[in-house]
Amino acid sequence: MKRGIVLGMLAAALGALPVFACVGPSVDGLFSSGGTGGSGAGGASVTGSTTGSTTGSATSSSGSGGCPSPLSSCSGACVNFADDDSNCGDCGVKCPSGSACAAGNCVCTQQNQELCGGACIDVTSDPMNCGSCGHACLPGGQCQGSICSCMAGTNMCASGCADVETDPANCGSCGHACATDQGCTGGQCTGCTGGEIQCGAGCVNPTNDNNNCGGCNMPCVGGGVCMSGACGCADAAKDYCDGVGCVNLKNDANNCSACGDACGAGLVCVNAACGCKAGDMMCDNQCTAVNTDVDNCGGCGNQCDQGDVCQGGMCKCAAGATDCQNLNLCTTLQNTPTACGDCGTSCQDDETCVGGNCVCRGALFSCNGQCVDLKHDPNNCGACGTTCDTTTQRCNNGACINNFCNNIGLIVCNDGCYTQAQLNSDPLNCGTCGNACDVSEVCVAGICQTYFPTPSCTTCPCASCDASTICCTVGTNFVICLAGNTCPG
């Protein structure tokens, strides 16, 4: 049954094959020079490289080896060379995929296919085998109905199918080539020549264009000049640093000895080395103005007395201050408790100095020449001379109350009732009852802290306050330097 079907297909194919021919130069020009092929694109091919020309590994002998005619023996088996796909025409000759053995030849079974190079190819659409085996269309061409043609939008040129709108080798028409560094747009050669490059809408020379030095959008900044495609400086004493411009590496603090090598805070670049500016000294690993620094006046570690200023590298009293040598202190006699009015007058612990006179400090009030706390003093409760019966009463916020302090959640101190917050700011009972601060101290958060006036300052911050003190304003425009880091509340 197999033999009859294949022979029938072969006969039908042979009867239906037309003769393929290329007519006229408009068709022949579509093919590159190549090999010859089969008999056209009609049916399955029986010509070309289709015969079983390869000899099998076993010796064939018609009617031999005990095989009846027309069978032959191949490796001990009886086969028919006329229609055996594995022994087509001779022992061991196998037909490729998509083909079958008919009359001793491998024949493609699909319509329009031919055996080309050992494979079944549709010669009606294959641009490498268009119309017959080996007939290749020119580059860019397509095969339709066994005929080579160019795709829509392209023209047939000597080099192949080309889009004359965009092909630099065939710009506008076949054979019209643009310059080497030009492109083709709309059939017109575009782009730059002579080493120039396209940057934006124009052509530039990247070897000397300051805005496009070495490439588009690569500007030379800070006085830089484009030379041979690289930014440089016209001034031989300067070097070009990317993104910065021309700088002198010998004195530029941000680029000292090399681009990007910045000196630390306060340092300057001198002869390509980082150091302190003229007049400054390196103290504790930082440049210090020893002409004005009160902690390093005239030299590292030379600290001026509190209240002094450093001028020209020498410690001096500030303008308006008096040098109280007995106190080793530059101060103002108008508001210094230890030198109130003159260097030899010191106020009492419950006093402070205002306008050169000792007066009651803080919330204290003068009663008969004594500074008292009208809020908590049982002998002067709310007013001078108003006394509380301390056997049953206590003074609380300027009023005698018939109760004991601890009964109402308060702290008793000298027969007066206090909150802890009040004690934390009371210079006579700082933090705890009876802890009186010295005349040169104030009570801050329950701790007595030393202070001194600053005659050189009327507002904070104040240069006279060193690193161990904080500038605080007490009352109206009374500026002090206070030990620690917290001002009184």
* DSSP conformation class of 339: S
Q: Which residue has the tokens 């095989």?
A: 67
Given a cut of 50, whether residue 442 has pLDDT beyond it is yes
Q: How far is the CA of 349 from the CAs of 18, 352, 436, 441, 472, in angstroms?
A: 132, 8, 8, 9, 20
DSSP 74-135: ETTEEE-TTT-TTSSSSTT-PPPTTEEEETTEEEE-STTEEEETTEEEETTT-TTSSSSTT-
DSSP 186-241: TTEEEE--TT-EEETTEEE-TTT-TTBSSSTTB---TT-EEETTEEE-SSTT-EEE
Residues in the chain: 489
Is residue 22 within 8 Å of residue 33, measured between CB atoms? no
- Peptide bond before residue 461 is cis, with ω within 30 degrees of 0: yes
Given a cut of 90, whether residue 456 has pLDDT beyond it is no
Return the exposure string of 316-346: e unless at least 16 CB atoms fall within 10 Å of the residue's CB, then b. Answer: ebbeebbbbeebebbbbbbbbbbbbeebebb
Q: For residues 44 and 316, which has the higher predicted lDDT (pLDDT)?
A: 316
Given a cut of 50, whether residue 208 has pLDDT beyond it is yes
135-147 confidence digits (pLDDT tens): 989 888 889 889 9
Tell me which residue of 144, 119, 145, 154 sits closest to 133, measured CA to CA.
119
Residue 111 to residue 45: CA distance in whole angstroms:
9
pLDDT computed for residue 307 by the predictor: 67
pLDDT computed for residue 46 by the predictor: 36
CA atoms within 13 A on the CB side of 110: 12
Given a cut of 50, whether residue 248 has pLDDT beyond it is yes
Residue 111 to residue 42: CA distance in whole angstroms:
7
Cβ-in-10-Å burial (0-12, 13-18, 19+) of 162 comes to buried
Given a cut of 50, whether residue 179 has pLDDT beyond it is yes
When pLDDT is averaged across residues 291-311 and rounded to a whole number, the result is: 86
pLDDT computed for residue 477 by the predictor: 66
When pLDDT is averaged across residues 41-62 and rounded to a whole number, the result is: 39
What the block records as the tokens of 392 is 């049953």
Confidence of residue 106 (pLDDT cuts 50, 70, 90): very high
pLDDT computed for residue 464 by the predictor: 74
List, in order, residues 6 or more apart from 4 with CB less than 8 Å away.
none
pLDDT computed for residue 365 by the predictor: 92
When pLDDT is averaged across residues 427-451 and rounded to a whole number, the result is: 90
Residue 372 to residue 384: CA distance in whole angstroms:
9
Given a cut of 90, whether residue 452 has pLDDT beyond it is no
Given a cut of 60, whether residue 255 has pLDDT beyond it is yes
What the block records as the tokens of 222 is 């800070």
Q: For residues 293 and 12, which has the higher predicted lDDT (pLDDT)?
A: 293
pLDDT computed for residue 174 by the predictor: 92
Q: For residues 118 and 53, which has the higher predicted lDDT (pLDDT)?
A: 118
* DSSP conformation class of 488: -
75-98 confidence digits (pLDDT tens): 889 999 889 989 998 998 999 998
* DSSP conformation class of 422: H
When pLDDT is averaged across residues 7-21 and rounded to a whole number, the result is: 34
Lowest mean pLDDT among 31-35, 81-85, 282-286, 408-412: 31-35
Among 82-96, 139-153, 220-234, 324-338, name the most confident range: 220-234
Given a cut of 90, whether residue 58 has pLDDT beyond it is no
29-40 confidence digits (pLDDT tens): 344 434 433 333
Percent of the chain with pLDDT over 90: 41
Among 46-55, 57-66, 219-228, name the most confident range: 219-228
pLDDT computed for residue 475 by the predictor: 65
Q: Give the angle subtended at the CA of 141 by the CAs of 138 and 147, to the nearest 5°.
A: 95
Task: Label each residue of 425-447 as H, E or C.
Answer: CCCCCCCCCCCCCCCCEEEECCE
When pLDDT is averaged across residues 351-364 and rounded to a whole number, the result is: 87
Mean pLDDT of the chain: 82
